[in-house]
Amino acid sequence: MSATENSVREWAHRGLAGERRALARLITLVENRLPEAAAVMRELTPHTGRAHILGITGAPGSGKSTLTNELIKEFRRRERKIGVVAIDPTSTLTGGAVLGDRIRMLENYQDPHVFIRSMATRGQLGGLAAMSNDVVRVMDACGKDLIIVETVGVGQDEVDVAKAAHTTILVEVPGMGDDIQAIKAGVLEIADLLVINKADRDGVERLNLHLQSMLNLAPKKEWSVPILKTVAAQGEGIAKLADQAEKHLTYLKQSGEYEKRERARLRDELLSRVREEISRRVLNREHSAGGLQEMLNRLEARSIDLYDAATVLLNQVAE
Amino acid sequence: MSQQPTSSDVALMNPPDAGRKIRVLIAKPGLDGHDRGAKVVTRGLRDAGMEVIYTGLHQTPEMIVEASLQEDVDVIGLSILSGAHNVLFPRIVNLLKQNGMDDVLVFAGGIIPPEDVPEILGMGIKAVFGPGTTLEDTARFIRENVRPSSGLAASSGEGR
């Protein structure tokens, strides 16, 4: 066994034993897809599958982080061990990011059973969901039994992240008008719980009716999506929200939907991992003979078409 | 700087195994409520391609170190204008040591009297940036001094 593998094993054991610094480092390894990542997942995977994964999504400014903070407190009262993955966008221009969700969750810093990790969307080849799912798995293996993934509900990538959760919570606020329609259209379909946050504002009933009518338009599901009102900044409505989240998990397990979703998610992830690996191999030999650059030259010269060029590249990396 | 990268350039610059972004935590220890400087640095380092976690005002040393631990940051920037640096900085540095995080690069900024700087540098904080420091200088300092990798080999916490 190599030295690296030994040390991965040691760090994995420390993480599994609940050591927070080891958990933090294991997350870094998988998040950055460092060479150790595969070995980390090999060690940790047998210990995964125990956590309830909550996805929280909604427009910027809808109060997701404040809501997450309140849910942390509520679930701590229920003696759950909590992991949070808070995702903020990477600047496409500079590749940098400001990760500011944590600022709303500071009051839990002394609690060893709350672990919060900020993540940037980056431009990963494997996609954001692949990365965040791995981070969730690491937390799961290291003993977190309730994991909240908070993301901005914009773009397919982030919808995929929310989709990977067992229970997806979509946060809306009154008075935001038509700007959020775009978000609703994509995410409403995958929401298991709808939350009207900042429900002390004007326009709650209007939004309520609107959401209700959109739900009525959707195909009938076995789980009827509840609309819950919260004022996260005041802690109002949080216990009910937590109740509904737990109820939803029970529904998933009793209906057999849990296994179905799990399998569908694994399928997506496995396929995306395969795509990622192919892209990586293609890029690795980008400048070799018959590589990506040569294909690009030939495509520009119209001496090959995209289908054949792809076949050439695939045959090269298939070994 | 040659030309603005396009978004697809950024995606290609960051293939899955090409490694990492430098992660920085910017914190305001103590009781002063002036965070303009910290926010400017946060933005500036983001624009330099780093991932910056900003934790806001009134942070205790314990909060700063715990957040740095969970986020596994490579760099901590401490902004302070209250004059309490002689009390707060040693506590932060000690907590980092206790947690096996000595390899995290720590720098300070804000209003710090020149006569205090040698002591601060002596305790392991690698730089003190006063008013007038450019963002380019700060970013360059970080790139030149940050630990080489967040892989396991580079970690001083190993085998504790």
pLDDT 10s digits, A143-163: 999 999 998 766 677 777 777
Q: Do B51 and A280 touch (CB under 8 A)?
A: no
Residue B43 has pLDDT above 60, yes or no: yes
Q: How far is A97 from chain B (nearest CA, A)?
A: 5
pLDDT of residue A65: 93
Query: Given pLDDT bands bounded at 50, 70 and 90, which one contains residue A308?
Result: very high
Q: Do B7 and A97 touch (CB under 8 A)?
A: no
Facing residue for A99 by CB, picked from B11, B17, B52: B52
pLDDT in tens, A64-109: 999 999 999 999 999 999 999 999 888 888 889 999 889 888 888 8
Dist. CA A27–CA B64, nearest whole Å: 19
Average pLDDT, chain B: 83
Picking from B99, B33, B26, B32, the residue whose alpha carbon sits closest to that of residue B62 is B99
Encode A185-219: b = buried (16+ Cβ within 10 Å), e = exposed: ebbbebbbbbbbbbbeeebbeebbeebeebbeeee
Residues of A in Cβ contact (< 8 Å) with B20: 28, 32, 34
Q: What is the mean pLDDT of residues A285-290?
A: 92
Residue A25 contacts B where some CB pair is shorter than 8 Å: yes
Q: What is the mean pLDDT of residues A162-191?
A: 76
Picking from A216, A91, A205, the residue whose alpha carbon sits closest to that of residue B51 is A91
Q: What is the mean pLDDT of residues B61-75?
A: 96
Gap between the terminal Cα atoms of chain A: 25
SS3 call for B58: coil
Say what percent of chain A tops pLDDT 70: 93
pLDDT of residue A306: 97
Q: What is the mean pLDDT of residues B79-107?
A: 94
Q: Do A123 and B52 touch (CB under 8 A)?
A: no
Report angle CA B61, B67, B69 to the nearest 5 degrees.
100
Pick among A11, A93, A105 to test the B interface (most B CBs inside 10 A): A93
Facing residue for A280 by CB, picked from B17, B50, B59: B17
Residue A5 contacts B where some CB pair is shorter than 8 Å: no
* DSSP for residue B116: G
Residues of B in Cβ contact (< 8 Å) with A120: 21, 51
pLDDT of residue A186: 67
pLDDT of residue A128: 77
CA B135, B136, B140, B141 dihedral sign is negative
pLDDT in tens, A24-49: 999 999 998 888 899 999 999 999 99
Query: Given pLDDT bands bounded at 50, 70 and 90, which one contains residue A164?
Result: confident
Q: How far is A257 from chain B (nearest CA, A)?
A: 32
Q: Do A8 and B152 touch (CB under 8 A)?
A: yes
Task: Give the least confident one: A43-57, A170-184, B50-64.
Answer: A170-184
- Report phi then psi at B54, rounded to 5: -110, 125
Residue A124 contacts B where some CB pair is shorter than 8 Å: yes
Query: Given pLDDT bands bounded at 50, 70 and 90, which one contains residue A289?
Result: very high
Among chain B residues, CA nearest to A20: B70
Q: Do B13 and A109 touch (CB under 8 A)?
A: no
* DSSP for residue B115: G
Give the H or E element holding residue B80: strand B75-80
Dist. CA A304–CA A301, nearest whole Å: 8
pLDDT of residue A268: 85
pLDDT of residue B20: 66
Q: Do A93 and B17 touch (CB under 8 A)?
A: no
Among chain A residues, CA nearest to B98: A21
Residue A131 has pLDDT above 70, yes or no: yes
Task: Give the least confident one: A183-192, A261-270, B22-31.
Answer: A183-192
Query: Given pLDDT bands bounded at 50, 70 and 90, which one contains residue B18?
Result: very low
pLDDT of residue B156: 39
Residue B10 has pLDDT above 60, yes or no: no
Among chain A residues, CA nearest to B20: A32
Residues of B in Cβ contact (< 8 Å) with A108: none
Cβ contacts from A onto B, under 8 A = 143
Residues of B in Cβ contact (< 8 Å) with A275: none
Residue B157 has pLDDT above 90, yes or no: no
Residue found by looking up tokens 């710090």 in the block:
B112
* DSSP for residue B140: H
Q: What is the mean pLDDT of residues A264-289?
A: 89
Task: Give the least confident one: A253-257, B62-66, B95-99, B130-134.
Answer: B130-134
Q: How far is A184 from chain B (nearest CA, A)?
A: 26
Q: Do A96 and B51 touch (CB under 8 A)?
A: yes
Facing residue for B63 by CB, picked from A20, A109, A122: A109
Residues of B in Cβ contact (< 8 Å) with A24: 69-72
Q: What is the mean pLDDT of residues B48-74?
A: 94
pLDDT of residue A42: 95
Residues of B in Cβ contact (< 8 Å) with A90: 10, 51
Q: What is the mean pLDDT of residues A175-181?
A: 62
* DSSP for residue B143: H
